[in-house]
Amino acid sequence: MEINDTLIQQYNEPLAGGGLPAEHLAELVASEPMVLLHFLRHLGCIYCKHTVEQLRELTQQMPRFPTIYFVHQSPVEVGHDFFAERFPGARHISDPKRKLFQLFGINRLKGFNLLNPKMFMLGIQLMRKGHRNEMGFGDIMMLSGTFLFRDGKLIWKHRAQFAGDDPKWNQLG
């Protein structure tokens, strides 16, 4: 099933997290003119830490960058601690049962994607910069995904095919 505006409208589970202006998904994605919903693999992930760092820098450099809501599998309190350290003020949604991950069709890392050379090269670069993998909550095989909304309507999406497969962030602002 492909994600669409109707499915988003019908999703009535209350959202929990930090800095959320709405309790329901449809209201959240319509809360700002441009909203970026980014699903993180797990908060101990080396690639996710890098992604959060990149997005923090972009929001500082580009005032018109879309409002970001991170979705993660960790408990709310763990998310608060993670973002307080890496992106103070970041808005985040705790989804430990992965209902949003399922709704948005986020893939799991499997098959040949476990051996992707781009993933390994990026991992080595990130380790050289001091990033480290740590244990995370939830399914560590989940991949990331990014969904861009304009006035509450889904206009663009990217589902990762391997860990570290993020879109070109600077093309979104």
| 173 vs 145: which has the higher pLDDT | 145
How confident is the model over 151-165, as a mean pLDDT?
Answer: 89
Sole residue written with tokens 């959240």: 28
Determine which of 10-19, 64-73, 125-134 has the lowest per-residue pLDDT on average. Answer: 125-134
Determine which of 47-61, 82-96, 144-158 has the lowest per-residue pLDDT on average. Answer: 47-61
Residue 112 in this model has a pLDDT that exceeds 60: no
- Supply φ then ψ for residue 62, to 5 degrees: -125, 95
Q: Which two tokens stand for residue 53?
A: 């760092």
Residue 114 in this model has a pLDDT that exceeds 60: no
d(CA 37, CA 40): 10
Domains of the chain: 5-166 (3.40.30.10)
Q: Would you give the DSSP letter of residue 130? A: T
